[in-house]
Structure 1
Amino acid sequence: MKLYFRPFACSLAARIALIEAELDAELVAVPADGRLPDGRDFREISPMGYVPALETGNGFVLTEGPAVLTYIAELAPEGALSFTGFSNAHYRMLAWLNFTGTELHKSVFTPLLGKTAGPEERAAARARVAKPFGVLAAHLEGRDFLEDRFTVADAYLLTVLNWCETAGVAIADWPVLLAYRTRLRARPTVARAMAEEWPLLKAA
C-alpha cells in the first residue's frame, strides 16, 4: 500500500491514521511539479492532483481525503479509528469528516492558502470561519474528541486546524478549539506524524 502525500497538507490526517492503526504503507512525497520518483505524473493517480491518494498492492486507487480516511479506518483493528457500522456514532463520524471537508477545508482554507483567490474572496473566506468554528466550539466544550474516542474525523480536523496561523485565522478567538488542537498535538501518534513531516515542509 502506498500513501501519496505532501507535508502538512490534508494527507497528514492519513499518515496519523496509519500510525494509529499500526498499518504499514510506503509513503511517497508528491513534489510541486507532480513528477513522482518512478517517473509518473501524479495526475495519473489523482486526476485533480490532490493528496492524499492511496494505492493498494492490487492496483486499487482511492482519492478524496474523507474516503481515504474511511478506508484506513476500515482496515484498522475494530474500534481503533471508527465505530461499528450502522451505529449512530459511526454516521456522526462520517458527518464530521464531511463537515471538516466542506465547511472548513474547501470553504475557508482553500481560498486562504491558495494563490488564485483575490482580496475579496479571501476576506469572504475568513468571514465564513465564524459559523463552523462556533458549531465545533459548542460541540467540543467538555469533550476530548469529536465523539467518544479518537477517530479519523479528529485526525482530519486537527490537520485543518494546523493551518490557522498560516491562513491568518485567529484560532485563539475560540479557546475550546485551541485547547482541542493542543491536546491532539500532544497525542503520541500525532506528534510522531508531525515530526516526520516537519523537516520535509521546511525543505520544500
Structure 2
Amino acid sequence: MKLYFRPFACSLAARIALEEAELDAEFVQVPGDGRLSDGRHFSQLSPMGYVPAIETRGGFVLTEGPAVLTYIAELAPEGSLSFTGFSDAHYRMLGWLNFVSTELHKAVFTPLLGKTAGPEERAAALARVTKPFGVLAAHLAGKDFLEDKFTVADAYLLAVLNWCEASGVAIADWPVLLDYRTRLRARPSVVRAMNEEWPLLKAA
C-alpha cells in the first residue's frame, strides 16, 4: 500500500492513522509539479491533484481525505481507530470527518492557504471560522477526543488545526482547541508522523 502525501497537508492525518494502527505503507511524496518518480503524473491517480491518495498493490486507488481515513480505520486492528459499524459512535465519527472537511478544511483553510484568494475572500474565510470553532470548543470542553477515544476524526482535526498560524487563524482565542491540539501533538503516533514530515516541509 502506498500513501501519496505532501508534508503537513491534510495527508498528515492519514500518516498519523497509519502510525497509530501500526500498518505498513510506503510513503510517496508528491512533488510540486506532480511528476512522480515512476513517470506517472499524480493526476492519473488523483484527478483533482489532491492528497491523500492510497494505492494498493492490486491497483485500487482511493482519494478524498475522509474516505482514505475511513479505509485506514477499517484496515486497522478492530477498535484502534474507529468504532464498530452500526453504532452511534461510528456514525458520529463519520459526521466529524465530514464536519472537518467541509466546515474547516474547504470553507476556511483552503482560501486562507491558497494563492488565488483575494483580500475579500480571505476576510470572509476568517469570519467563517467562528461558528465551527465555537461548535468544536463547546463539544471538546472537558473531553480528550471528539468521541470516547482517539479516532481518524481526531487525526484529521489535528492536521487542520496545525494550519492555524500559517493561515492567520488565532487558535489561542479558543483555549479548548489550543489545549486539544497541544495534547494530541504529544501522542506518540503524532510525534512520529510530524517528525517524519517536518524536515520535508522545511526542505520544500
TM-score category, normalised to shorter length: over 0.9
Counterpart of 2:188? Answer: 188
Counterpart of 1:23? Answer: 23
Counterpart of 2:173? Answer: 173
Hey, what's the Cα distance between the residues in 2 that align with 1:37 and 1:153?
Answer: 31
Matches within 5 A, 1:28-39: 28-39=28-39
Counterpart of 1:68? Answer: 68
Hey, what's the Cα distance between the residues in 2 that align with 1:193 and 1:26?
Answer: 13
Hey, what's the Cα distance between the residues in 2 that align with 1:179 and 1:19?
Answer: 22
- What is the DSSP-based 3-state SS (H/G/I as helix, E as strand, rest coil) of the residue aligned with 2:3? strand
User: How many angstroms does 1:39 deviate by?
Assistant: 1.0
Q: Partner amino acid for 2:199?
A: P
TM-score (normalizing by structure 1): 1.00
Counterpart of 2:118? Answer: 118
Counterpart of 1:97? Answer: 97
Runs of 4 or more off by more than 6 Å in structure 1? Answer: none
Hey, what's the Cα distance between the residues in 1 that align with 2:25 and 2:191?
Answer: 18
Q: Partner amino acid for 2:130?
A: A
Hey, what's the Cα distance between the residues in 2 that align with 1:200 and 1:70?
Answer: 26
TM-score (normalizing by structure 2): 1.00
Hey, what's the Cα distance between the residues in 2 that align with 1:100 and 1:175?
Answer: 18
Hey, what's the Cα distance between the residues in 1 that align with 2:148 and 2:82?
Answer: 10
Q: Partner amino acid for 2:141?
A: E
- What is the DSSP-based 3-state SS (H/G/I as helix, E as strand, rest coil) of the residue aligned with 1:150? coil
Counterpart of 2:4? Answer: 4
Hey, what's the Cα distance between the residues in 2 that align with 1:12 and 1:3?
Answer: 10
Unaligned runs of 5+ in 2: none
- What is the DSSP-based 3-state SS (H/G/I as helix, E as strand, rest coil) of the residue aligned with 2:27? strand
CA RMSD of aligned residues (A): 0.3
Counterpart of 2:80? Answer: 80
